[in-house]
Amino acid sequence: MQPPIPTFQMNNALEIPALGLGMYRSSEGSVAERAVLHALEAGYRLFDTASFYGNERSVGRAIRKSVIPRSEVFVTTKLWNSDHGYDSTLRAFQESRERLGLDAVDLYLIHWPVERLRLDTWRAMETLLDEGLCRAIGISNYMVHHLEELLDHTDVVPAVNQIELHPYNYLSRVDIVNLCRSKGIQVEAYSPLTKGRRLKDLRLGRIAMTYGKTPAQILLRWAHGRGFIVIPKSTNRERIYENAAIFDFSLSREHMEKLDSFDQALTTAWDPTDKP
């Protein structure tokens, strides 16, 4: 029996689960729906979708089917790049909410910091928050210059910044992590398993053997140890369980630092670092 998934507190005093299910490339329909149901059964309470992922309907349907009360489930969705701007954001949000079939979204994120329009978009996010249609608002793929610009123009500090983070890029991104921390913004690590690209790293495998855990579990436990929310994606029941079984051990300081030293500025998605 695994301990329950812990939570972190956001800067609006609401709790967010420390681990959730990533939904990118979980096909709309029975695949995504089953993944959510398996995850709920395995103790997950956080689901990370986006209008871009095309599976908000399945996420909503699975949550409604489950016996877990809606109030115990935390749903994140995101505003896609083509929907930036004040009015388009309000419209896109309504469409996401309808697809999800939920009264309110727990966390609404700007998926990418689209140039020129992102400040207008943030105003719309503030409106959604004021109207109680989302419980928290945040950003994704914001690097230091994007976040500084936003903070210069708003009093509503984002609750979360979701960025790609794993030992293979952490030290390269420590500036944005530290800026978020200094402002009370929770950091959420996406692609925490490097999309599977480094799971066969022998150095990682050796650490995994020391703990009797899998390489995936070591990466996820590392992220938890660094204080990040993690959202590994899987549609496979066994791996969904495996990925949540990280709260019954912890990594030594030496192993945490060893993992940090794997940094090679790896990004598995479009890299926002140099984007205006």
Min CB(52)–ligand NAP separation in Å: 8
Contact 228, 239 (CB under 8 A): no
Residue nearest to ligand NAP (CB): 22
The sign of the CA dihedral 221, 227, 233, 234 is positive
Instruction: Copy the structure tokens of residue 189.
Output: 């690590």
Binding mask 21-40 for ligand NAP (x = CB under 6 A): -xxx----------------
Given 36, 60, 192, 213, the residue binding ligand NAP (CB under 6 A): 192
Min CB(240)–ligand NAP separation in Å: 8
The residues, ordered by sequence, that sit 6+ positions from 27 with a Cβ below 8 Å of its Cβ are: 55, 235
Q: Which stretch binds ligand NAP (CB under 6 A): 10-18, 55-63, 82-90, 236-244?
A: 236-244
Given 33, 56, 83, 242, the residue binding ligand NAP (CB under 6 A): 242
Q: Is 258 in the site for ligand NAP (CB under 6 A)?
A: no
Given 58, 77, 96, 140, the residue binding ligand NAP (CB under 6 A): 140
Q: Is 83 in the site for ligand NAP (CB under 6 A)?
A: no
CA nearest 226: which of 186, 266, 194, 269?
A: 186
* 145 vs 239 by CB, closer to ligand NAP: 239
Q: Is 233 in the site for ligand NAP (CB under 6 A)?
A: yes
CA distance 138 to 186: 9
Among residues 53, 142, 168, 190, the one annotated as catalytic is 53
Q: Is 162 in the site for ligand NAP (CB under 6 A)?
A: yes
Contact 8, 229 (CB under 8 A): yes
CA nearest 101: which of 127, 73, 143, 142?
A: 73
Q: Is 216 in the site for ligand NAP (CB under 6 A)?
A: yes
CA nearest 49: which of 65, 70, 64, 33?
A: 33
53 is catalytic: yes
Given 232, 255, 262, 266, the residue binding ligand NAP (CB under 6 A): 232
- Return the axis-axis angle of helices 174-182 and 144-153, rounded to nearest 10°: 20
CB burial string 52-88: b at 16+ within 10 A, e below: bbbbbbbbbbbbeebeeeeeebbbbbbbbeebbbbeb
- The residues annotated as belonging to the active site are 53
Query: Under the rule (CB under 6 A), what is the footprint of ligand NAP?
Result: 22-24, 48, 111, 140-141, 162, 190-196, 199, 214, 216, 231-236, 239, 242-243, 269
